[in-house]
Structure 1
Amino acid sequence: MTTANIKTLVEEMVMPYLEEQQFELVDVEYVKEGSSWFLRVFVDKDGGIDIEDCGRVSEYLSQKLDENDPIPDAYFLEVSSPGAERPLKKEKDFVKAIGKHVYITTYEPVDGSKEFEGTLEAFDGETITVMVNKKAHVLPYSKVASARLAIIF
């Protein structure tokens, strides 16, 4: 089973519970670090997720994974908040982040750069406008490699 298949399967397993609890699935990762595999599930909710919420999601998902046993490798299951530097993965994430400080990388240079840190000014589904040092950069959404909220120091 591929990493992408595992991520999709885990999303399908956990979504009914998350919807029932009014939680949001932010991301699922299945990665190998050193000799160990990690299945990481990032969840959130209005007002923020806490450790008890993560524990309940972990228990639910652990039971479902034990019942179905879809992952051939031994792995560690981690359920957590996306944190202050929450990834922006879906279109709705970009819409919610308008007006916030973001860090975006692109697959290829746009305006001579592949990294943009500034205020997310607009998102229309096709382009993202980021204000960096009083200059607006319009990035094609299709060229975004990664995006996250950024902490300003």
Structure 2
Amino acid sequence: MADLTAIARLIEPTVTGAGFALVRVAMTGGTSDPTLQVMAERPDTRQLTLSDCEALSRAIDPILEEADPIEGGYRLEVSSPGIDRPLTRRADYADWAGHEARLKFAEPQDGAKQVSGDIVGIDGDTVTIATPKGERRVDFANIASAKLLLTDKLINATAPLVTEGAEEFETEED
């Protein structure tokens, strides 16, 4: 299994040097189609164009080739987070306050494995979500995964960005 944190540290200087923000590094596809997904965005638009994906792929591919952090062959996929994006950084909970999200817990909290509701924000390491049953506070470290939910409000908030498109670009790695 690849050390995704080490891979993120390896490529992040190149990603930020190219004018992008690294959103997530993940392995997908299992053993049949191992894919290293590098999700990034332009800080000003929160999206990537196809040419951004191509440029970023070309910039990080030689770094990955030289360091060889993944055993065996894999595919490199550079993509935009899209509209219903994952929430991976503390700042995401401030940036997307007021929008609906689903948080899955690493460890059950108050008998629940997940919670959905409007993001209130983050204070230190505590994320607050407004649910129909009231506000829930979740320790950032207990969030296994989180993503925005596709709603009319989110579509309207990102409408100027949608016209630019969320693209992805893939290359094969040996």
The normalised TM-score by structure 2 is 0.75
1:16 aligns with 2:13: yes
- The alpha-carbon deviation at position 105 of structure 1 amounts to 1.7
Distance, in Å, in 1 between the alignment partners of 2:9 and 2:50 is 22
What percent of counterpart residues are identical? 29
List gaps (5 residues or longer) in structure 2.
Answer: 153-174
List gaps (5 residues or longer) in structure 1.
Answer: none
Report what 2:39 is aligned to: 42
SS of corresponding position for 2:137: strand
Distance, in Å, in 1 between the alignment partners of 2:38 and 2:71 is 18
Given the superposition, is the C-alpha separation of residues 68 and 139 from structure 1 closer, same or farther in structure 2, using an over 3 Å criterion?
Answer: closer
Report what 1:58 is aligned to: 57
Any idea what the Cα deviations from partners look like across 1:50-77, whole Å, max 9, x if unmatched? 1110111111111222233333301011
Report what 1:108 is aligned to: 108
Any idea what the Cα deviations from partners look like across 1:87-109, whole Å, max 9, x if unmatched? 11221222222222111122213
- The alpha-carbon deviation at position 34 of structure 1 amounts to 4.5
Letter in 1 for 2:99: K
1:81 aligns with 2:80: yes
Given that residues 13 and 61 in structure 1 are in contact (C-alpha distance below 8 angstroms), is that contact kept between their aligned partners in structure 2? Answer: no
Given that residues 102 and 117 in structure 2 are in contact (C-alpha distance below 8 angstroms), is that contact kept between their aligned partners in structure 1? Answer: yes
Report what 2:169 is aligned to: none
Given that residues 37 and 76 in structure 1 are in contact (C-alpha distance below 8 angstroms), is that contact kept between their aligned partners in structure 2? Answer: yes
Letter in 2 for 1:133: P
Q: What RMSD over aligned residues (CA atoms) do the two structures have, in Å?
A: 2.0
Given that residues 117 and 131 in structure 2 are in contact (C-alpha distance below 8 angstroms), is that contact kept between their aligned partners in structure 1? Answer: yes
Distance, in Å, in 2 between the alignment partners of 1:138 and 1:70 is 37
Distance, in Å, in 1 between the alignment partners of 2:29 and 2:149 is 26
Given the superposition, is the C-alpha separation of residues 13 and 139 from structure 1 closer, same or farther in structure 2, using an over 3 Å criterion?
Answer: closer
Given that residues 27 and 37 in structure 2 are in contact (C-alpha distance below 8 angstroms), is that contact kept between their aligned partners in structure 1? Answer: yes
Aligned runs of 1:69-148 on 2, under 5 Å? 69-106=68-105, 107-110=107-110, 112-133=111-132, 135-148=134-147
Given that residues 37 and 73 in structure 1 are in contact (C-alpha distance below 8 angstroms), is that contact kept between their aligned partners in structure 2? Answer: no
SS of corresponding position for 1:3: coil
Given that residues 15 and 60 in structure 2 are in contact (C-alpha distance below 8 angstroms), is that contact kept between their aligned partners in structure 1? Answer: no
- The alpha-carbon deviation at position 32 of structure 1 amounts to 4.6
Higher relative CO (Cα under 8 Å, sequence separation at least 6) belongs to 2
